[in-house]
Amino acid sequence: MSVQEYRLFIGGEHCPPVGGEWFDSVNPYTGKVWARIPRGGAEDVDRAVSAAHAALSGEWGRMTATARGKLMRRLGDLVAANAERLAEIEVRDNGKLYAEMVGQTRYHPEWWYYYGGLADKIQGEVVPVDKPDMFTFTTAGPVGVVAALTAWNSPLLFVAWKCAAAIAAGCTVVIKPSEYASASTLEFAGLTREAGFPDGVFNVVTGFGADVGASLVSHPKVAKVSFTGSDATGRTVYQAAAGGLKKVSLELGGKSPNIVFEDADLDAAVAGAISGIFAATGQTCIAGSRLLVQNSIRDEFVARLVERARKARIGDPMDAAVNIGPVTTTPQFEKILNYIDIARGEGARCVLGGNRATGAGLDQANFVEPTIFVDVTNDMRIAQEEVFGPVLSVIGFEDEDEAVAIGNDIVYGLAAGVWTRDIARGLRMTKRLRAGMVWVNTYRAVSYMMPFGGTKNSGIGRESGMAAIQEFLETKSVWISTSDEPPADPFTLR
């Protein structure tokens, strides 16, 4: 296969980086270079932000909300028509299963349809203010240029989550995708032009965090920053954005409890535990990496879980029969193996996996065996720190109160799962668990209609659903005097 060379997307055009440099994108499964990605820099960021800022007062800014919505729905149709091609590109870039990525790219258009329909439903309100002879109302307008920094594990899904709501609100965007998975976002950019978006509405500058990310977050014409990634990098982004008093949304890490009670449907709970940690090779912020199992069923449940997980097939992510693909990056692969060593050193007992996966078709890539640790206590590093890989920590509990205490005893608060046939218990747990999302008798379910985001170190703000569009709007208060008389005392507050 020939190596494809990509270009930046700025002001409606594909263009080379000012510095004239590219870097390689390596297929995580084959280990071979398949694409060259432009290495942008501060000058490219300035060009993109300037184009985005100009669009706000240009054709895009003058366009009616209804017209914006029509363009968004057209874009959704184009993504649907190209879903399989975009999914294949994402697999080459990040090594995740084709079945997972094509599911995401086929579902991706729903964000554009949903927010396209919402674009002309953004309304203010008339306020019956307590002042006489005043007519008052509010309006809602775009915050301005949005910097969107996305992660490598689901690039186009994150584009939909961040950009559909922003564009519906009337904002313009500059995206900095992860240097590990940039190609699909550049491909997607071309579809925005095909859909008829005015120049400057959607821009993509690829490159590295120190060159592109830092310049983008600190740019004076950027009004809002939306970031997905680790909590450590999120803090850096937050601090940099604070220097310009920019609005910020952060979707960060997690160490989510997946809680199984003794009255649960155990077959369903085993499947939910598998989905929670081994789907996407564990490379997801919502991974149910802490499995809390009631002591009365713990041994039986772990035995069932090990039996099921042992059957998982590891290999080529394009193979429909494969369940677990390679780890996307070498640094992440090394981090996972290091945490496995840490867990053993802490006294956790490995009952499945715990090694690099090797064998025919595996040696050229970074594969980790599905790994399960038992005898884990919640104070261990393996239970407190995000591994971002197929590594599960099993923790026992006696009753509901202890499950809540363990579940909440973490700096993260992104997601949680609860498995029980007792609906009253399920509802109680949703109230008591400190997480932005709680699934009962399911796991890893997402929708364009439902807010996504966490509490504590898992982030700030929400993506998807009605709540997301508020992240990109500014409220303006309008006061109109209906009095024919001037104020009696102009030196006092009215």
Is residue 486 one of the residues assigned to a domain? no
Whether the predicted pLDDT of 169 surpasses 80: yes
Average pLDDT over residues 170-184: 98
Residue 488, pLDDT score = 87
Q: What are the tens digits of pLDDT across the range 111-122?
A: 999 999 999 999
* Domain that includes residue 88, residue range: 4-252+458-477
Write down the pTM of the prediction: 0.96
Do 265 and 321 lie in one domain? The reply is: yes
CATH code (residue 167): 3.40.605.10
Do 247 and 271 lie in one domain? The reply is: no
Q: Where are the alpha helices (H) located in 23-96, listed in sequence order?
A: 42-56, 59-62, 65-81, 83-94
Average pLDDT over residues 43-51: 98
Do 291 and 240 lie in one domain? The reply is: no
Average pLDDT, the chain: 97
Residues 376 and 298: beta-carbon distance below 8 Å: no
Residues 181 and 152: beta-carbon distance below 8 Å: yes
Do 241 and 348 lie in one domain? The reply is: no
Is residue 264 one of the residues assigned to a domain? yes
Residue 299, pLDDT score = 98
Q: What are the tens digits of pLDDT across the range 386-436?
A: 999 999 999 999 999 999 999 999 999 999 999 999 999 999 999 999 999
Do 228 and 273 lie in one domain? The reply is: no
Do 365 and 473 lie in one domain? The reply is: no
Q: What are the tens digits of pLDDT across the range 82-95?
A: 999 999 999 999 99
Query: Which tokens belong to 122?
Result: 């953004």
Query: Which tokens belong to 134?
Result: 């005043």
Residue 487, pLDDT score = 87
Out of 171, 179, 187, 285, which one is annotated catalytic?
A: 285
| 251 assigned to active site | yes
DSSP 200-227: TSEEE--S-IIIIIHHHHH-TTEEEEEE
Do 295 and 415 lie in one domain? The reply is: yes
| 396-400 contacts at long range (C-beta below 8 A, 24 or more positions apart) | 396/292, 396/293, 396/294, 396/295, 396/298, 397/259, 397/292, 397/293, 397/294, 397/295, 398/294, 398/295, 399/294, 400/261, 400/425, 400/428, 400/429
Residue 400, pLDDT score = 98
* Calpha distance 246→453 (Å, rounded): 19
Strands 202-204, 172-176: parallel, antiparallel or unpaired by DSSP? parallel
Do 264 and 391 lie in one domain? The reply is: yes
Average pLDDT over residues 34-50: 98
Out of 90, 100, 179, 251, which one is annotated catalytic?
A: 251
* Calpha distance 142→428 (Å, rounded): 38
Average pLDDT over residues 35-41: 98
For the ranges 50-59, 236-245, 304-313, 482-491, the lowest mean pLDDT is seen at 482-491
Do 123 and 142 lie in one domain? The reply is: yes
Helices 109-118 and 65-81 pack at an angle, to 10 degrees, of 170
Residue 1, pLDDT score = 64
Do 245 and 268 lie in one domain? The reply is: no
Do 166 and 241 lie in one domain? The reply is: yes
Strands 247-251, 22-26: parallel, antiparallel or unpaired by DSSP? unpaired
Average pLDDT over residues 340-349: 98
Total structural domains in the chain? 2
- Interior CA angle at 340 toward 338 and 343, to 5°? 110
Calculate what percentage of the chain has a pLDDT beyond 90.
Answer: 98
Q: How far is CA 212 from CA 6, 187, 416, in A?
A: 17, 19, 34
Backbone angles phi, psi at 318, to 5 degrees: -85, -10
Average pLDDT over residues 210-217: 97
Do 294 and 205 lie in one domain? The reply is: no
Q: What are the tens digits of pLDDT across the range 254-310?
A: 999 999 999 999 999 999 999 999 999 999 999 999 999 999 999 999 999 999 999
Is residue 448 one of the residues assigned to a domain? no
| 125 assigned to active site | no
Is residue 494 one of the residues assigned to a domain? no
Average pLDDT over residues 220-241: 97
